[in-house]
Amino acid sequence: MNQRLDMLDKMIAKGSVDPFVSYARALELRSLGRKDEALSAFGEVRERFPGYVPTYLMAGQLAAELGLFDVARDFLTQGLSASSAAGDEHAASELNAALASLPQ
């Protein structure tokens, strides 16, 4: 098994409340080609840490890559709300661009 993934899983199992740890786990799954698991992991990050803005763009892009355009739209739209609440205009711009790139 992957050492980084093992380390992140252990940190989460020990009760880590750092959103980056869960986010990094989702990214690691994606990099391993385990895309369905990664999308599910991004969903878990969204549930546990709804204010963690980076999750939404990565999850939206992954869902679009998988052809799950409604799921992508949902992540990106929720990301716009989260980025607005956080005052993160850069993220909002990226999320809007990703939304605009989705097929209608």
Mean pLDDT of 89-99: 97
Residue 30 in this model has a pLDDT that exceeds 90: yes
Query: What are the angstrom distances between the C-alpha of 9 and each of 17, 23, 35?
Result: 13, 11, 17
Q: How far is Cα 18 from Cα 9, in angstroms, rounded to an integer?
A: 13
Distance in angstroms (rounded) separating the CA atoms of residues 26 and 4: 11
Q: DSSP label at 86?
A: H
Tell me the mean pLDDT in the region 56-69: 98
pLDDT score, position 104: 83
Domain that holds residue 12: 3-101
How many domains does the structure of the chain reveal? 1
Looking up residue 31, the CATH number of its domain turns out to be 1.25.40.10
**Prediction pTM value:** 0.94
Query: What is the largest distance, in Å, between two alpha-carbon atoms of the chain?
Result: 42
Residue 1 pLDDT > 80, yes or no? no
Mean pLDDT lowest among 1-5, 12-16, 70-74, 92-96:
1-5
